[in-house]
């Protein structure tokens, strides 16, 4: 068994658990801040988090190891994901929007890996991915939400999934050039600079309350900073496509928090969906661990 791959899989699952707290955290915040500003400010706090961790490497000039087009493209992907996800969910509804954005990510990642790297993921990987995506969709739509949505909203959600998949594959290449903290400082700092003018244009001048600042601080440091640090470090030993698929553990965490914290009562369909996600994740993990030890991309 590949110990490094197993440890990396655990790191991605932990990152996904942190991402899964995002919805609950936002639900506890006063609705006084535009979602565009929530996205932009959490990128800012995450950048500060990465700057503290990367400071020793910055002093050594480790940033010189980052070169090529992958860095600005990764920053663009993070900014595009951050903005298109919020806009897509607002237009399509939380259930359908989340299912489209998170569910399409692994499929985009598998297709990008095939086209760019000319390597088709194993059939077991595809089986696990599709099972996990179907389960996640069942969990998201179990509340009886309608599937009607404007084409623009659907397109934005699919763009969010594509942007996230693109970031993961590009980030895997970048962490081979420099440490995860340095890479994410550059990527999220660039994404924050791209997002701020868009947030100002679409969200106006922010007027956040103290409670809102607390939520944004948590989102930036834990659900974004720590989570993406774990995710980036894990990509050194597993494929980018597998990393994106393992992130389907996010709705499992959100599901548990909805029951334990919010007090929701999920339907039977939601529990069937949960089973599908867990079965899909096990298949993807098995596919990754049985792969021959080699440089993955």
Report d(CA 288, CA 128) in Å as an integer. 11
- Is the torsion defined by CA of 155, 100, 196, 56 positive or negative? negative
Q: Is residue 297 part of a domain?
A: no
Residue 169 lies in a domain: yes
Give the separation between CA 280 and CA 274, rounded to whole angstroms: 10
pLDDT at position 47 = 94
Band of residue 296 on the pLDDT scale cut at 50, 70, 90: very low
pLDDT-derived band at 297, boundaries 50, 70, 90: very low
Instruction: Render pLDDT for 9-26 as a digit per residue (tens, 0 to 9).
Output: 899 999 988 887 876 676
Confidence band for 218, pLDDT divided at 50, 70 and 90: very high
Q: Kindly indicate the confidence band of residue 35, based on its pLDDT and cuts at 50, 70 and 90.
A: confident
Quote the number of domains for the chain: 1
Write down the pLDDT at residue 260: 74
Does 242 fall in a domain?
yes
Chain segment 164-179, per-residue pLDDT in tens: 999 998 998 888 888 8
pLDDT digits over 42-77, tens only?
A: 899 999 999 999 888 888 776 666 777 888 999 999
Residue 74's pLDDT is 93
Average pLDDT over residues 217-223: 92
Most confident of 73-82, 103-112, 128-137, 249-258: 73-82
Per-residue pLDDT band for 199 (boundaries 50, 70, 90) equals confident
* Predicted TM-score (pTM) of this structure: 0.83
Mean pLDDT of the chain: 81
Question: Considering the domain boundaries, does residue 296 fall inside one?
Answer: no
pLDDT confidence band for 2 (50 / 70 / 90): low
Looking at per-residue pLDDT, the higher value among 8 and 87 belongs to: 8
Q: Are 212 and 29 in contact (CB under 8 A)?
A: yes
For residue 1, pLDDT over 50 is answered with: no
For 164, the domain range is 3-291
Q: Are 177 and 66 in contact (CB under 8 A)?
A: yes
Q: What's the pLDDT at 95?
A: 63
Of 18-32, 75-89, 271-285, minimum mean pLDDT range: 18-32
| Beta carbons of 223 and 25 less than 8 angstroms apart | yes
Predicted pLDDT at 44? 92
Identify the CA nearest to 186 among candidates 41, 49, 63: 63
Q: What is the mean pLDDT of residues 241-246?
A: 85
Please give the average per-residue pLDDT across 28-55, as a whole number. 84
Per-residue confidence band for 206, with pLDDT thresholds at 50, 70 and 90: confident
264 falls within a domain: yes
Residue 174: inside a domain: yes
Q: What is the pLDDT of residue 63?
A: 66
Predicted confidence band of residue 275 (pLDDT cuts 50, 70, 90): confident
Confidence grade of residue 293 (pLDDT, cut at 50, 70, 90) = low
149 or 223, greater pLDDT: 223
- Dump the DSSP string for the chain: --HHHHHHHHHHHHHHHHHTTHHHHHHTS-TTS-HHHHHHHHHHHHHHHHHHHHHHHHHTTGGGG--STHHHHHHHHHHHHHHHHHHHHHHH-HHHHHHHHHHHHHHHHHHHHHHHH--PPPHHHHHHHHHHHHHHHHHHTTT-------HHHHHHHHHHHHHHHHHHHHHHHHTTTS-HHHHHHHHHHHHHHHHHHHHHHHH-S----HHHHHHHHHIIIIIIIIHHHHHHHHTTTS-HHHHHHHTTHHHHHHHHHIIIII-----HHHHHHHHHHHHHHHHHHHHHHHSPSS---
């Amino acid at each position: 068994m590949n110990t490094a791959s197993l440890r990396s899989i655990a790191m991605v699952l932990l990152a996904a658990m942190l991402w899964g707290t995002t919805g609950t955290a936002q639900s506890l915040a006063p609705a006084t801040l535009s979602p565009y500003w929530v996205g932009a400010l959490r990128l800012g706090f995450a950048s500060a988090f990465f700057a503290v961790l990367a400071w020793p490497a910055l002093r050594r000039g480790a940033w010189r190891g980052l070169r090529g087009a992958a860095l600005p493209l990764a920053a663009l992907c993070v900014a595009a994901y951050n903005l298109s996800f919020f806009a897509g969910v607002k237009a399509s509804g939380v259930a359908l929007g989340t299912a489209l954005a998170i569910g399409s990510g692994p499929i985009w990642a598998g297709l990008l890996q095939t086209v760019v790297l000319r390597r088709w993921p194993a059939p077991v990987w595809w089986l696990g991915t599709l099972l996990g995506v179907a389960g996640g969709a069942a969990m998201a739509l179990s509340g009886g939400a309608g599937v009607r949505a404007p084409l623009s909203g659907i397109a934005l959600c699919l763009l969010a999934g594509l942007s996230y998949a693109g970031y993961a594959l590009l980030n895997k290449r970048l962490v081979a050039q420099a440490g995860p903290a340095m890479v994410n400082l550059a990527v999220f700092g660039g994404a924050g600079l791209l997002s701020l003018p868009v947030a100002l244009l679409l969200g106006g001048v922010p007027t956040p309350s103290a409670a809102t600042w607390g939520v944004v601080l948590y989102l930036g440091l834990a659900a974004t900073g720590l989570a993406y640090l774990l995710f980036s470090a894990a990509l050194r030993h597993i494929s980018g496509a597998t990393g994106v698929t393992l992130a389907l553990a996010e709705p499992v965490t959100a599901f548990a928090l909805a029951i334990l914290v919010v007090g929701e009562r999920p339907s039977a369909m939601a529990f069937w969906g949960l089973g599908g996600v867990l079965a899909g994740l096990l298949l993807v993990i098995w596919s990754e661990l049985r792969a021959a030890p080699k440089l993955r991309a």
